[in-house]
Amino acid sequence: MAYSTSGIAGLAFAALTAVFLPVLVGSQWVLIFTSTACFALAAAGIGLMYARLNMVSLTQVGLMGVGGWVTLRMNHGLGLPFEFNLLAAGVVTAAFGMLLALPALRMRGLYLALITLMSAGGIEIVLSTFRFPNGGEGFWGVMPSVAAPFRRPVLAIEDGAYLRYAIVVSTLGMLLIELHRRGAPGRAWAMIRRSEAAAMASGVNVTLYKAWAFALSGLLAGLAGGLLAGSIGLLDAATFRAPESIMLFALAVVGGAGSWPGAVIAAILYRVLPALFNDWGLNPDLALVIFGAALLHAIMTAPEGIAGQIRAALPRWAK
């Protein structure tokens, strides 16, 4: 399988970022860029659903919370290596994604968006009520005192090394999307997007491939949430509020759904821009004004988002 120019550029970008970014920024920005890598992976899952199947899923940030919860619980409760905990988080959220696929078989458009948003709201309530595990006893694992230490991967104990680790995992997740896009699932998704009736007439199992897409998107969200848990060591339900899923979806459209640059741009806007405003002594909420203007611009003049405009300006970087 030949790699596209965009794919080679993506691998080069990930490699350069992993090598140089941790040594060029301060400790606070290392944590910010680590969370940016996590949200880029989650945004890639949103782009997968929207670009390949024209489906709006507004529960991605909520699923990140589920992935973070599973990672923390397994870390404190079982003491397994971080990679096992992260994989378990991805499997659990993939199962959640398949459950969300059930209404998608009959609903689409606004109704599907509302169903997934209600699911995100339910997740938010559960996480707010029972909180994230911090080393306590019982199923929920919550104790009122100081949280127990979180065990990071052996090769990524320090913050800079963990940023590199997060970049590598996010890159692997985006490569997984690319493998699907180039394989049988990608061809099936393309047919379903054009016409479900035509896809069924051609022998495509619409139910299977829709569930597949939801599961893959959920897997990426779970991995992103697990990585975020490893970065901070303790999560808060306020990070995974339902409106944040709406915001991340909007920024995925602004960045350019369905491409790795679009996911990266969405995550940078989501995490880095408010942090910059805070550093400059401005209200971080001013970023919302920019997000609104950027979304309006994307809808009216740039349907492929900022990434699409970059591709148009650099023809050699086309797929």
Judged on CB neighbours under 10 Å (0-12, 13-18, 19+), 256 is buried
In contact, 68 and 134? CB cutoff 8 Å: no
| Matching residue, tokens 């699409």 | 308
Instruction: Tell me which residue of 278, 275, 254 sits closest to 266, measured CA to CA.
Output: 254
In contact, 237 and 127? CB cutoff 8 Å: yes
Domain boundaries, the chain: 5-317
What pTM value is reported for the model? 0.92
From first to last of its 319 residues, what are the pLDDT tens digits of the chain?
334 556 787 888 888 999 999 999 988 999 999 999 999 999 999 999 999 888 898 999 999 999 999 999 999 988 889 999 999 999 999 999 888 888 767 777 788 888 899 999 999 999 999 999 988 888 888 888 777 889 899 889 999 999 999 999 999 999 999 999 999 999 999 999 988 888 888 889 988 999 999 999 999 999 999 999 999 888 999 999 999 999 999 999 999 988 899 999 999 999 999 999 999 988 888 999 999 998 988 888 877 888 888 887 776 544 4
- 5-317, which class in CATH? mainly alpha
